[in-house]
């Protein structure tokens, strides 16, 4: 039973991940839109850490890179949360 | 609603970390008690699903977009707001470090807003409305909307304290955008997911388990 739950869940997550780059709006999000209204929030963005796949994309790979990036992230989340769950279950 | 690095002074970021860490520890304690054969795969798939759906920004008016947070949905499915805290902590860690979505210095405040405030407000509103006789699906819509809306207002206040946003306009725009995102991105998706689970696998929902047992 739990194996089936896992499989159905993974399938749904990967489906969303595969569709996201094609369906997602590239407009700024609520917080970014608000920030654009205020000059006090301009140019405050600085990089504290160099992420390997900024903005859910892989440099030079276009749309394919976006699909890959989100798929990798989704699988990484799955493994991390499963691992955390198993460790905490034993704890 | 992911606050990037640079929007909040470091000393204020430190305060938000100090507030947030005890909640994260409590969520780990919750998980160490609650995790079982069913909840581990649920936790894992919810983490993957929430990450994927957060990458899908839905268009709203005013040239803006927004995405689901998912903490309330996770809390309803796993039967505790601590589930949302734990999941959003994991999701925000990966988003911040791997995808530069949300800052690193602002991880504490982002976990506070999306993991803790949205989840506790949303989950307990859901529970409250259910006690008043509201149907589960409707209660999950209201809870999800309230969680997102209230956390957006808190976020506006934090950005005002940081000297980044003006107070009134900040509250206005954050409130306006997230009121709409809360309907399509949070409320509707949460209600649909809870409705589907309720119909196909009601045994998963803790509230339903108690009723049938």
A11 touching chain B per CB within 8 A = no
Residue A52 in domain: no
d(CA B50, CA B154): 22
B100 touching chain A per CB within 8 A = yes
Look up residue B163 and give its two tokens. Answer: 């000297």
d(CA A12, CA A65): 20
Count CA atoms closer than 13 A to B66's CA, side-chain side.
Answer: 30
Residue A37 in domain: no
Residue A55 in domain: no
The mean pLDDT of B33-44, rounded to a whole number, is 91
Domain of residue A4, residue span: 1-23+62-91
Q: pLDDT tens digits for B45-96?
A: 999 999 999 999 999 999 999 999 999 999 999 999 999 999 999 999 999 9
Task: For residue B182, give the DSSP letter.
Answer: I
Q: How many domains does chain A have?
A: 1
pLDDT attached to residue A1: 52
Residue A53 in domain: no
Task: For residue B64, give the DSSP letter.
Answer: E
Predicted ipTM beyond 0.85: yes
Give contacts of A88 with chain B, Cβ < 8 Å: 28, 31-32, 35
d(CA A18, CA B39): 25
Q: pLDDT tens digits for A5-63?
A: 788 889 999 999 999 988 899 898 999 999 988 876 665 567 778 888 988 999 888 88
Look up residue A12 and give its two tokens. Answer: 């749904």
Q: pLDDT tens digits for B105-161?
A: 999 999 999 999 999 999 999 999 999 999 999 999 999 999 999 999 999 999 999
B5 touching chain A per CB within 8 A = yes
Kindly report the nearest CA distance between residue A50 and chain B, in angstroms. 8
pLDDT attached to residue A75: 94
Residue A91 in domain: yes
For domain B10-212, give its CATH number from 3.40.50.1980, 1.10.1760.20, 1.10.150.110, 3.40.50.720: 1.10.1760.20
Return the domain boundaries, chain B: 10-212
Residue from B181, B49, B172 nearest A16 by CA = B49
Residue A79 in domain: yes
Residue A8 in domain: yes
Question: In sequence order, which ranges of chain B are alpha helices (DSSP H)?
Answer: 10-34, 39-54, 71-78, 81-99, 107-110, 118-131, 136-161, 167-181, 189-200, 206-212
B102 touching chain A per CB within 8 A = no
Give contacts of B170 with chain A, Cβ < 8 Å: 34, 38
pLDDT-based confidence at residue A70 (cuts at 50, 70, 90): very high
């Amino acid at each position: 039973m739990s194996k089936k739950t896992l499989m159905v869940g993974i399938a749904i997550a990967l489906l969303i991940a595969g569709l996201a780059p094609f369906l997602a709006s590239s407009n700024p999000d609520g917080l970014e839109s608000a920030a654009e209204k205020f000059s006090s929030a301009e140019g405050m963005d600085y990089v504290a850490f160099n992420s390997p796949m900024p903005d859910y994309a892989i440099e030079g790979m276009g749309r394919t890179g976006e699909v890959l990036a989100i798929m990798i992230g989704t699988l990484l989340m799955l493994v991390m949360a499963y691992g955390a769950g198993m460790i905490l279950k034993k704890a | 609603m992911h606050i990037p690095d640079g929007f909040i002074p470091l000393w204020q970021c430190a305060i938000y970390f100090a507030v947030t860490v005890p909640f994260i520890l409590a969520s780990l304690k919750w998980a160490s008690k609650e995790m079982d054969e069913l909840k581990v795969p649920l936790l894992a798939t919810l983490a993957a699903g929430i990450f994927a759906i957060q990458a899908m920004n839905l268009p709203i008016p005013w040239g803006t977009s927004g995405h689901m947070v998912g903490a309330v949905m996770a809390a309803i499915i796993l039967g505790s707001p601590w589930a949302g805290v734990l999941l959003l902590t994991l999701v925000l860690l990966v988003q911040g470090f791997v995808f530069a979505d949300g800052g690193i210095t602002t991880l504490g405040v982002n976990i506070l807003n999306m993991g803790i405030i949205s989840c506790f407000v949303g989950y307990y509103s859901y529970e409250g409305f259910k006690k008043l006789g509201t149907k589960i699906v409707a209660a999950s819509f209201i809870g999800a909307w309230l969680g997102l809306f209230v956390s957006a207002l808190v976020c506006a206040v934090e950005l005002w304290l940081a000297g980044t946003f003006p107070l009134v306009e900040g509250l206005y725009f954050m409130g306006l955008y997230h009121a709409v995102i809360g309907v399509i991105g949070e409320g509707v998706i949460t209600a649909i997911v809870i409705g589907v689970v309720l119909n196909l696998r009601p045994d998963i929902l803790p509230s339903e388990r108690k009723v049938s047992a």
